[in-house]
Chains A and B, each alone.
Chain A
Amino acid sequence: MKYLVMCEGSNELEVVRILLANNRLIFGEDDLLGLTPYHARQIENNAQVRTELNMYPGNDVCVIRIGDKQSDKLRIPEEYKDKIVAVNKYCTKPELEILLIINEGLVSEYEKGKSETSPKVFAKRYICCGKKRYNNSSKFYHDYYSGECDKLVNALYEYKRSRGAHQKDELYLADLLRV
């Protein structure tokens, strides 16, 4: 079994890279297709993912999609239908920035104005790393979490504990954490 980890955005990719580097996931690099997670929304649009699927000879690829809502269905091109045996999606709703908000203890502040302010906008307004304000960059996530992976892990567990709005097929990133 190889996992094809497809992250919706570069920030999700950075979060997964931090968890991988700190050996906090139920899989390691060796378990991943091409030894790495990918920034890819759909297989057909991503040449790098297609190349890795072409090179891999097995028919046991499990796709792990990571993003916020992922309302668009993953389209599996005909040539990979035998190769891909499962697709699971892991969500951080409504947006990945909710993890930063949890870490900063600002959930109740965010909840007060959530009808008007998205987590992204809220984070840009209130969250800093040192002197640097949140700017929706993967470098911010790197600076914020890479030295303190426990902080990220705690936020993922807290997100799962406190946010029950997931559909049946929407798993939690915390489900991928090594216990």
Chain B
Amino acid sequence: MKLLRVKANHFKNCCDGYTIDLVAKSRKTAEDKEYELQEIAPGLFTFSTMAFIGKNASGKTSALELLDCCYSIIEGFQVENKYYSYDGIELEIFFYHEGFLYLYETVLGADDTSTKKAIFRNQHIYKKEYYKSGIKDIYNKKTFTELNNLGVLPEDTSDIFFVLQKKRLYSFFFDSYENDASSYQLLFTVMKTYNLDADVLSSIIRIFDENIHDLQRIDDKNYRMLFKGESLTLTDTQLFYRLSSGTTKGLLLYIHMAVSLQQGFDLLIDEVENHFHKTLVENMISLYKDKTVNKHNATLIFTTHYCEVMDQMGRQDNIWICKTGKTIFLSNMYEDYKIRPELLKSKQYYNNAFQTAVNYDELMNLKRLLKK
């Protein structure tokens, strides 16, 4: 399964018709096909990496939350434990699965019995076989056939169950909230679930803190750490205060990244630069673009304030600029701007080509006040 496009109405404070397309639109060079794109079916290319940029409060996190919502439906056929209101969210999800294209439409509502789960109304699923010759028409609803009489499910369970039938993960969402002591339990659980080699953890640990040579779980609350040659037994809380917040977050994120690359899961990261050295961010992007590492078409989808990160991205159609007016809306760097490809994207960003500059007058107003 690979997510291709999502469109939403009434999602948080996003504009109607808020659309995120994960399929490549502009010209594809041979080098792009090697690094920037993944051919999930003949002629059907999705991105190795995708970025959302924009000023503060421009809706970058909302974009990831929408994708996360759609992945939740596809992965577990449910939406739950989200903090935003579900009522009236209209979704249109295109995805590719085993040679077929699917279009799923639904309207979410709040579950009267549980505030944490969404219910699914007005569901429709359409299907068509994918052919390379039909690449320009992949989103044309008229070319799909509706699947009828699928059966009845509880109203908090999506009809996508009838297509995919088995719960499984296709993504990880790594939000920008601070971690806590339970991070280590999650880390080892993920490693165990996906049989990740202990050597990978050791290697990741050394990237973030050269003084730590090993970290092992004794049980869910206690860990053994080899620190500067000394073996320490620590509770999760002691470990949390012993390690830097960057190390804890880095371990968790890099372990998720390793699993994502190994399993072909898409990895959604809010504020990729949060706590990280720029080289580590560059390294992550580089790993997703290297097909000898990313063998199963995993996509790295992230928000960032590091505009230099965009210079690592060889295309423009995988960069979305988030903006806010009365509502939140998205522009695509390829479709909505005429930026010459040879120009550095970061320079354009600083030149305010995407209207993303911080308000200079407000900055000076603050300075004036601080000078008093």
Contacts and interface: CB of A to CB of B under 8 A. Distances in A.
A132 B371 CA distance: 76
Contacts of B36: 47
Contacts of B313: 47
A46 interface: yes
Contact of B35 (A41, A44, A48, A55): A48
A71 interface: no
Contacts of A34: 286, 290
Interface residues of A, number: 18
Interface size class of B (residues with CB under 8 A): 10 to 19
Contacts, number: 49
Contacts of A55: 279, 282-283, 286
Contact of B312 (A36, A40, A47): A47
> Quick one: which of A34, A39, A48 has the most chain B CB within 10 A?
A48
B319 interface: no
The secondary structure that dominates the B interface is helix
A50 B290 contact: no
Contact of B286 (A10, A41, A48): A48
B292 A46 contact: no
Contact of B30 (A39, A44, A52): A39
A51 interface: yes
A9 B30 contact: yes
Interface string B281-324: 01101100110100000000000000000011110000000000
A46 B31 contact: yes
Contacts of A47: 35-36, 289, 311-314
Contacts of B31: 39-41, 45-46
Contacts of B290: 34, 36, 48
B204 to A, nearest CB: 16
B30 A54 contact: no
B34 interface: yes
B289 A48 contact: yes
Contacts of A46: 31, 35, 314
A13 interface: yes
Given A36-B292, A46-B314, A51 B34 contact: no
A10 B29 CA distance: 11
A50 B285 CA distance: 12
A45 B292 CA distance: 21
Interface of B: 30-31, 33-36, 279, 282-283, 285-286, 289-290, 292, 311-314, 342
